[in-house]
Amino acid sequence: MTGSNFDTVDALIARYVAGNLPLPAHVLVAAHLEIRTENRPLVTALEDMAGGLLEETTPMAVDDRESRLAAIFSSGDVGAPVARRPRSVMPAVLQDFVGFDVDDVPWRTKLPGLREYDLGEIDGCHATMFWIKPGRKIPAHTHEGSELSLVLDGAFHDFTGRFGRGDIAVADESIDHRPTAETDRPCIGFAVTDAPLRLTGPLTQRLSDMLGF
Ligand code: ZN
């Protein structure tokens, strides 16, 4: 994702259709589309456009991409297929990628009220599942690259807006934010970053944010 600019979710979906997203971001958009069926017509329209262009230029490009993705999925590096549960908050494509349904994720406590499951570096990106306690503020930070956060359950908000189930929050170098989980239930999601985060804000706020006060 380095050097790219995800101004909007539509731009992200266009890159998804074009097949040039890193694998974790590709899975994130696929999971979004599994929840947000209303965005599928956009995908179909873009695929039709892309199909027309590809026929004129590189007819093998889509097949190459699909076979590469299939190879990555079958390599075992990204988690074994799991027994899917009906009515899970976790889309099937994400369960397959992560290797767990949401109730079985082996969370690690990163900070009080903040749990993560780190999938590590995949295709040049860092992929994590996150669990935020109701009302918990994430320490204020900015980004050295792109950060995509797909909400699966609950919701969080920052100064750019509110993100509930199925929403993708897009942040980059220009965004300094302090995402806060809503108070009624934990906020669970999947995040993909292509560069480290950098903590911001006054030291006292950083300390209280870290401890979750
Ligand atoms: Zn962020």
- CA–centroid distance, residue 174 to ligand 1 (Å): 10
- CA–centroid distance, residue 126 to ligand 1 (Å): 13
- CA–centroid distance, residue 188 to ligand 1 (Å): 15
The answer, yes or no, to whether residue 3 has pLDDT greater than 60, is no
- CA–centroid distance, residue 110 to ligand 1 (Å): 15
- What pLDDT, on a 0 to 100 scale, did the predictor assign at position 2? 40
Which helix H or strand E contains 191, and what residues bound it? strand 187-193
- CA–centroid distance, residue 104 to ligand 1 (Å): 25
- CA–centroid distance, residue 30 to ligand 1 (Å): 21
The answer, yes or no, to whether residue 142 has pLDDT greater than 60, is yes
Rounded distance between C-alpha atoms, residue 94 and residue 33, angstroms: 11
- What pLDDT, on a 0 to 100 scale, did the predictor assign at position 1? 43
- CA–centroid distance, residue 142 to ligand 1 (Å): 6
CB 193 within 8 A of CB 126: yes
- CA–centroid distance, residue 138 to ligand 1 (Å): 9
- CA–centroid distance, residue 52 to ligand 1 (Å): 37
Supply φ then ψ for residue 119, to 5 degrees.
Answer: -85, -5
Rounded distance between C-alpha atoms, residue 77 and residue 55, angstroms: 33
The answer, yes or no, to whether residue 86 has pLDDT greater than 70, is no
- CA–centroid distance, residue 44 to ligand 1 (Å): 30
Q: 61 pLDDT band (50/70/90 cuts)? A: low
- What pLDDT, on a 0 to 100 scale, did the predictor assign at position 50? 73
CB 197 within 8 A of CB 142: yes
Task: Tell me the torsion sign for CA atoms 103, 209, 190, 99.
Answer: negative
Q: 140 pLDDT band (50/70/90 cuts)? A: very high
Tell me the pLDDT tens digit for each residue of 147-200. Answer: 999 999 999 999 999 999 999 999 999 999 999 999 999 999 999 999 888 888
Q: 34 pLDDT band (50/70/90 cuts)? A: very high
- CA–centroid distance, residue 173 to ligand 1 (Å): 9
- What pLDDT, on a 0 to 100 scale, did the predictor assign at position 5? 44
- The mean pLDDT value for 110-133 works out to 96
Average per-residue pLDDT for the chain? 85
The answer, yes or no, to whether residue 4 has pLDDT greater than 80, is no
